[in-house]
Structure 1
Amino acid sequence: MFHRRRAAGVFAAALAVLLLAGPSGAAEPWSFYANPRFCYAVDIPPGFAVETESDNGDGATLADAASGARLAVWGSNIVEGDFKSEAAGRADSYIKDGWQLSLRRIGDARASLSGSRKDRVLYVRGIDLGDGQAAYFELDYPRAGLKAFDPVVERMVRSLAKAQECSAR
């Protein structure tokens, strides 16, 4: 899957490549985000536009004004322990922030967290990139959009992956 995108030159730019889709809608095309600093990539749903890109090049924050959803994508260095312990620490941080986690599946190479707080739903996916690094996405959306966002979450979970080649390393 990544080789098709690599052929399109997604890592040619020094900064992350972000192609933005138009307003949200099922027929709209998805876009693609590739991060050369941490060498990960993820599909971006239609309607999401960049709000901020991090100064250190680890990711971006996007929003879909039509649905009220927010999306963050980032890479990180695992400072202490391994991926599993870092993901568990992140889960604990979400709980401290008031999220009630109904899903907390943390393995050696992948983590999935899901929960709610008031009228919002949270889904977090993380993957171990190796070499002491990880990549994550965090999708926060209104509870009223739960059914509409199920296929969005599924696609994003499938697409979050380590890049096969990366010019940043």
Structure 2
Amino acid sequence: MSGAQEPALPRTGIGVDIHAFAPDGAPGEPPAPLWLAGLFWEGERGLTGHSDGDAVAHAAADALFSAAGVGDLGTHFGTDRPEYKGASGVTLLAAAARIVRDAGFEIGNIAVQFVGNRPTFAPRRREAEAALTRAAGASVSVSATTSDHLGFPGRGDGIAAVATALVVQTVRRPTAREDNLEP
């Protein structure tokens, strides 16, 4: 290598998260709350999970980790970490953004596709994007679709989210090959 600084190249990552709807509570007990895309959805059945089950925020965090090559949601916030039991999705997304920035990356944007028959997402899209953008400290867009009654989202068993993220390395670290070169 000539010693010239290589340009910072963008990197992309993909994140997927899937959660089942929580079972109905015992008679007289309220259902588990639904937290999705950083928002509370009153009157909707919640999702199962170690944290709050916010598949949209979780997919966004996983896309960031994937783009930066720093592990995944389980690596950083897994079930072996009791301090994250019940944690909000926006808390995890904010922590993921910090981890990625601390690893030497700037976040360009995150795009998330929510797949499910409910809740009806469109009326709260802007509110959700604002909550996720605040958490990530970067632009987050969210779109939603149904699965035309196919698969587990179509049967109403749960939801899925798929995300992509764009990051740019701001601190260049030597590659493994460069680390092994002798002067």
TM-score, structure 2 normalization: 0.28
User: Which structure has more strand as a fraction of its residues?
Assistant: 1
Higher Cα radius of gyration: 2
Q: Which structure: greater helix fraction? A: 2
